[in-house]
Copies of this chain bind each other. A is one copy, B any other.
Amino acid sequence: WDEPLIFELSREGRIGYTMPKPIEDVSVEVPEKLKRKSPLNLPQLSEPEVVKHYTRLSEMNYGVDSGIYPLGSCTMKYNPKINEEIAGHPGVAYVHPYQDERTVQGALKIMWELEQWLKEITGMDRFTLQPAAGANGEFTGVMVIRAYHLDRGDTQRTEMLVPDSAHGTNPASAAMAGFKVIEIPSNENGTVDLEALENAVSERTAGLMLTNPNTLGIFEDEILEIARIVHKAGGLLYYDGANLNAVLGKVRPGDMGFDVVHLNLHKTFSTPHGGGGPGSGPVGVKDFLKDYLPVPLVGYDEERGYYLDYNVPKSIGKVKELYGNFAVMVRALTYLKVMGREGLREVSEIAVLNANYITQKLKGTRGYELPHKELRKHEVVFSAEPMKKETGVKALDVAKRLLDFGLHAPTIYFPLIVHEALMIEPTETVSREELEAYVEALKRISEEAYSNPEIVKSAPHNAAVRRVDDVLAAKRPIITWRMYRELKEKGEVDI
């Protein structure tokens, strides 16, 4: 249905709160030059109206509890409700980050324990939990690499190598840290081209940022050789943990030769994605890099208990205020304790099984091509290139048509090295029946594409809105109610 903007629901005089009275009702005057004089055009609603509005908006949104949500590279697994229950403890919400350490032993213990789990899972020696998200973690990691080289006087290492299949955040993070980004092509197997890598490394190489398995869902089986090449050139190996769900509890980045790792608690460790955040992107490093991590780290000492350790001599500083997204950490640790050693291993086994189930059941379907090798890990990337050529139906159309069946689309047009990419990551928390229904829907869309392509091209038909015009949005941006109101007043908009 159509839900108005909250501003459009406003009626003069309505209130949605009762403010506590001030301690003393004395007049405190803001300096005249600073006093608010411009109008405060906030909406005026009662609490029931606010609740109805956002309840209705929520009903216009698809979440993990709505059905399969196989966004490739996003690991949209089920978010256990016990995580929310624990994160809802008043000992999370009502604790100030600057409290005396004696009054926050519980919080510090949680951070400390989480670090121990992450160390063993990744084969790293020390973790910072500060980064707020994966990209923030990447930035942390490459800054650590930068600091390491500079600290050794190795000032010419200005280049960061990034495969062409990498997430866009990898080159962006490297650039933010001041590195020049060198792209390494993939070979026909979809993995790093070793020859190209050999040619790219030099005394300017700061490191290589790699995801393993990569964004095609393919395990870089030459990983030990890759590590050898990079290390030999004096570079460090950075592990983008976006795809850790594929090897969780089975293989450790540390054992593959990586020196720095970032994880996404909101992907691998089941914390909810919140419509795009909050996430959490802890970064782990091998022992020789630990002195460069952001401050503070969490320490433990028999006598003192848990404490915040600001004594990190060569620290890169901070990548975010305070200690990171603590409420997310609580959820991740809850998950880890429920899963345990065997549970985590089973996660990756079934995540991989489910992705290969889709791979095998869908391959050979007309219009979808499976480039690169067949054996995938946690996700698979099909190409709708043949379908596009033969029927004009694009990956985007396939995605939109899936919505009509009550299913969420996969990630599309990524990785960039696959044309008309459909990147499907079912995760371990969907059932066989859901996998089957997904494959069936994709097969039906293939049939439609070859028999009645218009129905696919004009999809979705059953969603809250029809296909959304993103070109218009970019051409004439309307970013806020304020802009909309002004354009509307000028008669320049008809929405």
Q: A47 touches which one: B48, B52, B80, B432 (CB < 8 A)?
A: B80
A59: Cβ under 8 A from any B Cβ? yes
A406: Cβ under 8 A from any B Cβ? yes
Q: A59 touches which one: B48, B59, B429 (CB < 8 A)?
A: B59
Q: In the bound complex, what is the Cα–Cα distance between A430 and B46 (angstroms)? A: 9
Q: A11 touches which one: B11, B56, B59, B431 (CB < 8 A)?
A: B431
* CB of A437 to closest CB in B, whole Å: 12
Q: In the bound complex, what is the Cα–Cα distance between A338 and B17 (angstroms)? A: 11
Beta-carbon contacts under 8 Å, A28-49 to B: 46-49
In the complex, are the beta carbons of B52 and A66 less than 8 A apart? yes
A1: Cβ under 8 A from any B Cβ? yes
A106: Cβ under 8 A from any B Cβ? no
Given contacts A1-B406, A406-B1, contact A431 B51 (CB under 8 A): no
In the complex, are the beta carbons of A48 and B78 less than 8 A apart? yes
In the complex, are the beta carbons of B52 and A429 less than 8 A apart? no
In the complex, are the beta carbons of A47 and B78 less than 8 A apart? yes
A178: Cβ under 8 A from any B Cβ? no
A27: Cβ under 8 A from any B Cβ? no
Of chain B, the residue at the smallest CB distance from A48 is B78
Q: Mark A1-15, 1 if CB is under 8 A from B, else 0.
A: 100000000010010
A81: Cβ under 8 A from any B Cβ? yes
A195: Cβ under 8 A from any B Cβ? no
Cβ of A56: which chain B residues have Cβ within 8 Å of it?
66
* CB of A431 to closest CB in B, whole Å: 6
Q: A67 touches which one: B11, B52, B81 (CB < 8 A)?
A: B52
A469: Cβ under 8 A from any B Cβ? no
In the complex, are the beta carbons of A431 and B46 less than 8 A apart? yes
Q: In the bound complex, what is the Cα–Cα distance between A59 and B56 (angstroms)? A: 11
Cβ of A338: which chain B residues have Cβ within 8 Å of it?
18
The 5 closest A-B pairs by CB, nearest first: A48-B78, A55-B65, A48-B429, A51-B65, A52-B65
Binding site for B on A (CB under 8 A): 1, 11, 14, 18, 46-49, 51-52, 55-56, 59, 65-67, 78, 80-81, 338, 406, 429-433
